[in-house]
A and B are shown apart, each in its own frame.
Chain A
Amino acid sequence: MPDIILLDMVMPKFDGLQVCGLLWEWSQTPIIIVSTAQNVEDKIICLEAGADDYVCKPFAAAELIARVESVLRWSGGAINSVPSVLKFDGIAIDFSSKKVTAAGGKIKLTPMEFGILSEMALNACKVLEDSSLLKTVWGSEYSAEKEYLRVFINRLRRKLEPDPANPKYIITVSNVGYMFSKAA
């Protein structure tokens, strides 16, 4: 099984978006979409479908390798200097195995989803600015990509929250960022 997928958008027998959507439901393998489409709307559509990052063609080889390494950073071994398990009301995050359970069931998160949740849970009840989360999870060159964060927060809510439209864990703090709430 691959550790990461580089996926073209335009293909026969399921295009890139369809592949993303299918794999996001049952696989934790991260996906980077590689496409000629350059506008923000296309990027957002890909991220909403389940991609972890998006690279425009043409690209420099070094840039693509850096993007792959950034995603794989969250899928490797245990994260150092953190507790092995954090438990909140209804959610448990195991930093050794990188497994998450919510309401008693195992939740499959992609590496970037896990990265955001980890950073928020380790700073529970603190407001984290958009730029801070983006820098920590994707890297400093992403610090202004607020749409990336919005999409991934929605993805996390769909997987973790009992009612994603009325989140109780991942709280939006208007014009600032997000906060992980311990409160049930």
Chain B
Amino acid sequence: MHQYQILIVDNDPIVVRYLQAVFKEAGYKTETATDGLAAIEAV
């Protein structure tokens, strides 16, 4: 089964950690970025 990859972009590390935990639990691969430039570079 395909494992989707989700990019979580937020400058609040608490929100990032929470969302990482939520989506890992739901079976997603996660990556993170803390600003807009890093988000663009990750796509």
Contact = CB atoms under 8 A, between A and B. Distances in A.
Q: Which of the listed residues A8, A12, A65 has the most CB atoms from chain B within 10 Å of its own CB?
A: A8
B10 A72 contact: no
Interface residues of B, number: 25
A27 B22 CA distance: 26
A146 B36 CA distance: 29
Could you say which interface size class chain A belongs to? 20 to 34
Interface string B1-19: 0101111111110010001
B40 A2 contact: no
A6 B36 contact: no
A184 interface: no
B9 A6 contact: yes
Interface of B: 2, 4-12, 15, 19, 22-23, 26, 31, 34-40, 42-43
Contact of A2 (B5, B11, B15, B19): B5
Contacts, number: 78
Interface in A20-77: 22-23, 27, 29, 34, 61, 64-65, 68, 72, 76
B30 to A, nearest CB: 9
25 contacts: A1-B43, A2-B6, A2-B7, A2-B43, A3-B5, A4-B4, A5-B43, A7-B9, A8-B12, A11-B34, A12-B11, A12-B36, A13-B35, A13-B37, A13-B38, A14-B35, A14-B36, A16-B9, A16-B36, A23-B40, A29-B7, A65-B26, A68-B6, A72-B4, A76-B2
Contact of A64 (B7, B12, B22, B37): B22
Contacts of A23: 40, 43
Contacts of B43: 1-2, 5, 23, 27, 29
